[in-house]
């Protein structure tokens, strides 16, 4: 039977231990805030492949010729043809496409009459650097096509660009929304990874074993303090990026907090597993770094997931950071609805159940 009073006492002991340790105190306060400010100015990104969704209302030889320039361009990978604006919007909303191209039904008529015409380019502004580069590619294709037909038809094709969710393509918005997620993950992972390893290194682990606390009570006591600290820091960082950097927060605060909680819970399981198998804090730190590097690479932060080999794309579904970043960016900039949130929260719940179960079994085996 779980005793709430003993768990509360365990939580108090963990919070006091973390706060009294100067290194831990400096880490949980200074590290995320300094990194947030530093990476906001220093991190740069690049794009490799681009997916585009196209609506061709004109459906003539000239419109198909323009589309063929896009489909045959080495910068573009997948081209999705849709019949209505709703499907185009959905493809961009769920990040199936980075770009949308809309060709109206008077496209070829205007060109044949020598009148200027336009095509609309819709860009997912949440991925700022990728959006800028992709917009440059497709605009160049349209301009080249316009220059080729101008001597014959006398018409000019003007690309009209609309950046969704980030109208001015503020690169810092993209970086800051991702950094809030990453720094929260790092703090949670390190605090949980060090918790049990620290007890072993300081010689307090045997006292925990012979205490009246059950293994489940110890795990709960080790889980809640990092969650409390990380949730608090995430809220502080969110306030900083919205007030100091002017980044908009257009989503639901409640959905955001729920998404953070479930995301961090999945990370806690990984940290507790690392802590259970490590005998020293140094081993725990090295294990955290071993996990974090591939997890960050597979999350889509450095390179878009769609550009990865198929095998790695499937492996990314095991990476909680992938879903956490989608949730943070989507709720921040787009105002992601509950359905889209659930599509990313459900995998996190499954990951949390798996990681916490493995951590609990590993911990019990170590006690035995």
Q: How many domains does the chain have?
A: 2
The pTM assigned to this predicted structure is: 0.60
Residue 221 sits in the same domain as residue 128 = no
Give the containing element (helix H, strand E) for 236: helix 215-243
- Is residue 160 in a domain? no
**CB 223, CB 188: distance < 8 Å:** no
Task: Out of 149, 177, 197, pick the residue that ends a domain.
Answer: 149
| CB 282, CB 368: distance < 8 Å | no
Q: Hey, how many other C-beta atoms are within 10 angstroms of the C-beta on 131?
A: 25
Pick from 14-23, 227-236, 255-264: least confident: 14-23
How confident is the model over 301-337, as pLDDT tens digits? 766 676 677 788 888 888 888 888 888 888 877 777 7
* pLDDT, tens only, 263-303: 888 888 888 888 878 777 877 887 888 788 778 877 877 66
Domain end marker among 80, 114, 149? 149
Residue 155 belongs to some domain of the structure: no
pLDDT computed for residue 42 by the predictor = 42
Are 307 and 255 members of one domain? yes
* Together in a domain, 252 and 347: yes
Q: Same domain for 178 and 132?
A: no
Do 33 and 66 belong together in one domain? no
CATH number of the structural domain spanning residue 130: 3.40.1710.10
Short-list 206, 256, 211, 266, CA closest to 234: 256
Task: Give the span between the Cα atoms of 26 and 105, in whole angstroms.
Answer: 62
Q: Give the residue among 255, 272, 261 at the shortest CA–CA distance from 341.
A: 255
109-134 per-position pLDDT tens digit: 888 887 888 888 888 776 666 777 77
Task: Please tell me whether residues 72 and 180 are part of one structural domain.
Answer: no
For residue 137, what are the domain limits? Answer: 50-149
Q: What is the pLDDT of residues 169-215, one digit of tens each?
A: 566 666 777 788 888 888 888 888 887 777 777 766 666 666 676 77
Instruction: Output the DSSP codes for 164-202.
Output: ES-TT--HHHHHHHHHHHHHHHHHHHHHHHHHHHHHHHH
Bridge partners, 81 (sequence order): 54
Residue 291 shares a structural domain with residue 269: yes
209 and 77, same structural domain?
A: no
Residues 65 and 126 placed together within one structural domain of the fold:
yes
């Amino acid at each position: 039977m779980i005793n709430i009073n003993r768990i509360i006492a365990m939580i108090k002991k963990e919070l006091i231990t973390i706060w009294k340790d100067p290194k831990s105190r400096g880490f949980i306060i200074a590290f995320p805030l300094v990194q947030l400010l530093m990476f906001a100015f220093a991190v740069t990104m690049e794009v490799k492949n681009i997916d585009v969704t196209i609506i061709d209302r004109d459906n003539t030889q000239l419109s198909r010729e323009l589309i063929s320039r896009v489909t045959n361009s080495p910068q573009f990978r997948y081209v999705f043809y849709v019949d209505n604006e709703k499907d185009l919007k959905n493809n961009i909303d769920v990040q199936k496409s980075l770009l949308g191209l809309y060709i109206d039904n008077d496209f070829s008529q205007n060109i044949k009459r020598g009148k200027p015409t336009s095509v609309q380019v819709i860009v997912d502004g949440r991925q700022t650097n990728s959006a800028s580069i992709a917009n440059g590619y497709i605009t160049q294709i349209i301009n080249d096509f316009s220059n080729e037909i101008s001597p014959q038809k006398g018409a000019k094709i003007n690309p009209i660009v609309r950046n969704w969710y980030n109208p001015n393509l503020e690169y810092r918005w993209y970086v800051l929304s991702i950094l809030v997620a990453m720094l929260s993950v790092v703090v949670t992972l390190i605090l949980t990874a060090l918790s049990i390893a620290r007890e072993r290194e300081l010689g307090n682990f045997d006292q925990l074993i012979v205490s009246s606390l059950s293994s489940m009570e110890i795990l709960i006591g080790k889980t809640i303090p990092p969650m409390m600290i990380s949730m608090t820091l995430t809220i502080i960082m969110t306030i900083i990026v919205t007030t100091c950097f002017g980044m908009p927060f257009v989503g639901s605060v409640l959905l955001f907090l729920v998404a953070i909680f479930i995301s961090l819970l999945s990370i806690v399981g990984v940290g507790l597993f690392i802590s259970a198998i490590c005998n020293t804090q140094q081993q725990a730190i090295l294990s955290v770094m071993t996990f974090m590097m591939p997890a960050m690479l597979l999350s889509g932060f450095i390179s878009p997931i769609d550009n990865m080999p198929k095998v790695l794309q499937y492996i990314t579904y095991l990476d909680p950071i992938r879903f956490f970043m989608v949730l943070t960016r989507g709720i921040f900039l787009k105002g992601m609805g509950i359905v889209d949130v659930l599509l990313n929260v459900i995998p996190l719940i499954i990951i949390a159940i798996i990681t916490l179960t493995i951590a609990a079994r590993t911990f019990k085996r170590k006690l035995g």
